[in-house]
Amino acid sequence: MAVTPASAPMNPLDIASHGPVIPVIVIDRVEDALPLAEALLAGGVKVLEVTLRTAAALPAIEAIARHLPEALVGVGTVLNADDARRASEAGARFAVSPGYTSDVGNACKGLGLPLLPGVATSGEIMAALADGFSFLKLFPAEAAGGIPLLKAWASPFGQVSFCPTGGISQATAPNYLALPNVCCVGGSWLTPADAMRQGDWARITQLARDTHALRAPV
């Protein structure tokens, strides 16, 4: 059943305005969706990226969108137009892709679904810019070049803001967040697999609270 989003589509950069870290979430059991989202919300993390890596992902997005409208639940690992459509129907408020194609970009535009496209090369950045996207995900961040790459891109792509994702930890996140062209980071450390299996929601809430100290005061 389709879920109507709680409000009008957001500007993609609004995603970054709610905190320095977007949790990259893999949900194996639908029944974990609501307690997990509640644990993250309790820790002050409002933007949730549920990846399309398991059969539970779309039902989990629908459950969160329906029962916790205060959460900004989005979909990750969007590979094609059908992924975007199904996620939008489930109630996703935004989409994240590991790479960029115009097909995915145009599909999300047609759905009114804000897209955070993944890039790993200058050519991908140029393609995304040509289609109107300037808030981009560097993925996989560490493997693609990490902080030195983002510093090198700052001059030719001064109009681009980044959300580096992939290989970033609680320890290294502050180094990324200190860069002027980085708005936020994506991280899987907020939802450890063992904590998910054990239902240790208090641990996840504490990890969420800890994210607010990662960005140094300006």
Distance separating alpha carbons of residues 125 and 99, to the nearest angstrom: 10
Q: Is the pLDDT of residue 8 over 70?
A: no
pLDDT average, residue stretch 192-200: 97
pLDDT average, residue stretch 182-209: 97
The predicted structure's pLDDT at residue 9: 45
Comparison of pLDDT for 144 and 218, the residue scoring more: 144
Which residues are within 8 A (CB) of 82 and not within 5 positions of it... i.e. 6 or more apart? Answer: none
If one counts every other C-beta atom within 10 angstroms of the C-beta of residue 107, the result is: 21
Q: Is the pLDDT of residue 74 over 80?
A: yes
pLDDT average, residue stretch 160-169: 98
The predicted structure's pLDDT at residue 10: 55
Q: Is the pLDDT of residue 13 over 80?
A: no
Tens digits of residue pLDDT in 89-105: 999 999 999 999 999 99
The predicted structure's pLDDT at residue 5: 39
The predicted structure's pLDDT at residue 216: 60
Active site residues: 49, 137
Would strands 135-138 and 47-51 be described as parallel, antiparallel, or unpaired?
A: unpaired
pLDDT average, residue stretch 147-168: 98
If one counts every other C-beta atom within 10 angstroms of the C-beta of residue 155, the result is: 8
pLDDT average, residue stretch 131-152: 98
